Structure 1
Amino acid sequence: MSEMSTILARPVAHRGFHNPSEGRIENTPSAVAAAMERGFGVEVDVQETADGQALVHHDYTLERLVEGTGSVISQHSADLVKLHMKTGTDKLWLLQDLLDLVQGRIPLVIEIKSRVVPGAQADFVRNVVDQVARYSGPACIKSFDPDMLSVAKAHNPDVLRGIVADSARNKQDYARHSRMDRFILRHLLHVPRTRPHFISYCVNDLPAPGPSFWRKTLGLPMMTWTVRTPEQRERANRFADQMVFEGFDPEA
């Protein structure tokens, strides 16, 4: 079985198998450990810190989940990992901590969060790619930012990479993008340049012409996010090869 097939073999827990009522916050060691207990893959997010490290955290700021304030990019990793989550016993942690915990026991899907800036945070992307390249278990990176994929491809084309996308119609989410940019992102027209190994597309926007075309033409496997309802699960089964799920146990 190829590494990509291994990653797609089981449902992928969105930010870990988290449940705040049980003290497991998204993207924390507890959430990842719960996914490992059930044999699910895990999708996590990484943000760049002031010293270029990869913090396992979704938001660009701390306030929603962490006993801290301010932006991630403005603070050093040594200070960030001292901060506790607002619920449970976990602290913030780094990508290397995650890799050390999992040790190849489940697949990892690592989404690199983009600040949409010139240069595509190239040093940060290369840092993440190097960590994944050294890791001995099944793992891949993905991003909404095609320029980040281009950096990853140029730095180490063997590290599995995927493009994350949706209909790009929410103008708030795509405030920094022109109408043409959104059209390109929606239909994945950058694929000849970025050459992703897989597509990660919003379940509510499937089926869609762009991902369907590349899936058929290049054989790119389809991961879909974020599946929360029976209706979304049915859509995932029809149009994707695997789902990123949240809020339920797919095997219950």
Structure 2
Amino acid sequence: MSKEQAKSKKTTKKKQTKKIEQQKVEQPVNIETKQEFFGHKENEDIWQSFIVQKMFAHRGLHDEKSPENSLSAFEKAIEKGYAIELDVNPIMDGTPVVFHDSKMSRMTGKDKYIQNISREEFDETTLLASSEKIPTLEEVLKFVDGRTPLLIEMKNQQKVGELEKAVWEILKNYKGEYAIQSFNPYTLQWFKNNAPKVWRGQLAGFFKGEKLSLFKKLVLRRLGMKKITEQNFVSYDLRNLPNRFVKHLEIPLLAWTINNQEQYIKAVQIADNVIFQNCEPKI
């Protein structure tokens, strides 16, 4: 083979290689992007979300047959198309359970604090006037399974960190819609620092008659910790609405707790959504 033939062959090969590479680049590439989820779709507009669009049944749709924060109360709320507000407390071993009161007497007859009950005794405890047991947060998530949004109130007035971490470890793999809220601004700060994309709401009110220092009452009433919490929404006591502290909010305002149609009519004139019980508001 002459030098000219070899050179021509080499040039032809380079052209063929370049053409193949161009074809590779031009081929459409199907990349399946993973959509991150934090109780809502990433970049979802909170004003178009369940926080505003779906009323919350306070501790489920409970009645004489279905105790508050029970699976049957949650099922009734789901059947009626409501979102669910629920409460989370820790038991002795740190397991997050769905129970409102710090003391168990009202709902179980036991003269004990929920945080002091062992897992063994917890598993044997039933809710008053029923055969239902107190569900763990993990059990509730498996039961609801994304069928309706959840508004999870963190009942942590003590040292912040352990309950929040335990709840987040459970929530981070849940694919249903949810948000968290708390009276404790440091709980919201924990989520801001450790799970910043989870929507978090500040519970607030005037706290008349509550065993809180005047300083704490004033701070919570005025939403005075918003710089450290950077809350995404506010849940305010309807009895204290309207007021100047929420007048110029640029985030959603929820009103709690609506107990009748008259209160509902008042609430919707002030707030963007409601948390209700003992009634089913007529829109």
TM-score (structure 2 length as normaliser)? 0.80
Secondary structure of residue in 2 paired with 1:73: helix
Q: 1:221 to 1:78 in 2, by over 3 A?
A: farther
Unaligned 5+ segments in structure 1 are none
Aligned to 2:63: 19
Q: Deviations 1:146-186 (Å, cap 9, x if unpaired)?
A: 1111112111111111110111232xx2x2x3322211110
Instruction: Measure, in 2, the Cα distance between the counterparts of 1:78 and 1:34.
Output: 29
Matched, 1:151 2:193: no
Report the CA distance between 1:88 and its aligned residue.
2.2
Distance 2:133 2:45 in 1: 31
Q: Which moved more, 1:72-81 or 1:200-209?
A: 72-81
SS for the counterpart of 2:172 is: helix
Instruction: Establish whether residue 56 from structure 1 lines up as the match of residue 98 from structure 2.
Output: yes
**Partner of residue 230, structure 1:** 261
CA contact (8 A) 1:81 1:91 kept: yes
Aligned residues: 239
Are residue 206 (structure 1) and residue 248 (structure 2) matched? no
Aligned to 2:280: 249
Matched, 1:221 2:252: yes
Measured after TM superposition, the shift of residue 61 of structure 1 is 1.4
How far is the alpha carbon of 1:52 from its aligned partner?
Answer: 1.0
Q: Deviations over 1:24-52 (max 9, x none)?
A: 00000010000011110010011111111
> Which residue pairs with 1:137 in the alignment?
176
Q: Percent same amino acid at aligned positions? A: 28
Asked whether 1:195 is paired with 2:230, we answer yes
For 1:167 and 1:80, the matched residues in 2 are separated by 34
8 Å CA contact 2:261–2:282 kept in 1: the answer is no
Q: Which amino acid aligns with 2:166?
A: N
Q: Distance in 2 between matches of 1:15 and 1:56?
A: 9
Q: 1:128-156: CA deviations, max 9, x gaps? A: 12322221011011000111111121111
Flag structure 2 segments of 5+ consecutive residues without an equivalent.
1-40
Which amino acid counterpart does residue 143 of structure 1 have in structure 2? Answer: S
State the AA in 2 paired with 1:155: N
Structure number with bigger Rg: 2
Match of residue 15 from structure 2: none
CA distance, structure 2, for counterparts of residue 53 and residue 183 of structure 1: 32
How many angstroms does 1:250 deviate by? 2.3
For residue 110 of structure 1, give the secondary structure of its aligned residue in structure 2.
Answer: strand
Distance 2:70 2:124 in 1: 13
2:51 pairs with one of 1, 7, 18: 7
Contact 1:55 1:77 in 2 (8 A): no
User: Hey, what's the Cα distance between the residues in 2 that align with 1:58 and 1:135?
Assistant: 22
Distance in 1 between residues matched to 2:169 and 2:264, nearest whole Å:
34
CA distance in 1, matches of 2:258, 2:51: 17
Give the TM-score taking structure 1 as reference length: 0.89
How do residues 109-124 of structure 1 correspond to structure 2 at under 5 angstroms? 109-114=151-156, 116-117=157-158, 119-120=159-160, 122-124=161-163
2:20 match: none
* One-letter amino acid of the counterpart of residue 182, structure 1: K
